Structure 1
Amino acid sequence: MGKKKAVALKYDRAAGSSPKVTAKGSGIVAQKIIDIAEQHDVPVKKDPDLVEVLAGLDINQEIPQEIYVAVAELLAFVYSINKNRPKP
């Protein structure tokens, strides 16, 4: 099994652009990305195939059209979690 990898995305619906890669890394850096996400209640989804594709993108690069469906499924997962969370 290879090193753990992680990729963080940012999506601003109001801006009308595609999601962008905001952080990526493997090993210790991947764990730090996951830890920071969890500390800030950002949902984390394990999807090794999608991470492989996203890890090939540059920081601040919009996701390519070829993976819109996979990322849309990821965003649906995040929205469903956020919808069920109690409001502060």
Structure 2
Amino acid sequence: MTTPGERRRQAVALAYQENDRAPRVVAKGYGDLAERIMAEAHRQGIYVHDAPELVALLMQLDLDAEIPPGLYQIVAELLVWVFELSEEGLSHREMPE
């Protein structure tokens, strides 16, 4: 239950396949479902970014819908951020101790 002024947690999962024109919404939800989406992302080693304004826009899309062209730039920036994090993680794992 949320209190007045408290927003329910939201989560949207995007996926991109080589033949797709744009990333697609593959999961979305509020509250407990949002928590499960984020927990699964963490379990799978997928980085989670907290961007409430972007999530609110993505929540309006249907499941399996491609993101609209107006969101390409911000999603591309997030994908670069994820790539850089994963590259940084790989380089730290490969460094001898």
**2:87 paired with 1:72:** no
Q: Matched residues in 2 for 1:80 and 1:15: separation?
A: 23
- Distance (Å, rounded) in 2 between the aligned partners of 1:39 and 1:16: 25
Identity %: 36
* Higher Rg of the two aligned structures: 2
Distance 2:69 2:21 in 1: 12
Count of residues in correspondence between the two structures: 87
TM, length-normalised to structure 2: 0.84
Deviation above 3 Å: which 4+ runs of structure 1?
A: none
The SS at the match of 2:42 is helix
Distance 2:80 2:69 in 1: 17
AA of the residue aligned to 1:29: L
Q: 2:85 — aligned with what?
A: 81
Residue in structure 2 matching 1:38, options 31, 36, 42: 42
RMSD, aligned α-carbons: 1.4
Cα deviations across residues 4-33 of structure 1 (Å, max 9, x unaligned)? 000000012x21420000000000000000
Structure 1: stretches of 5+ with no match in the other structure = none
Post-superposition shift, 1:37? 0.3
Note the C-alpha offset of 1:42: 0.3
Greater relative contact order (Cα < 8 A, sep 6+): 1
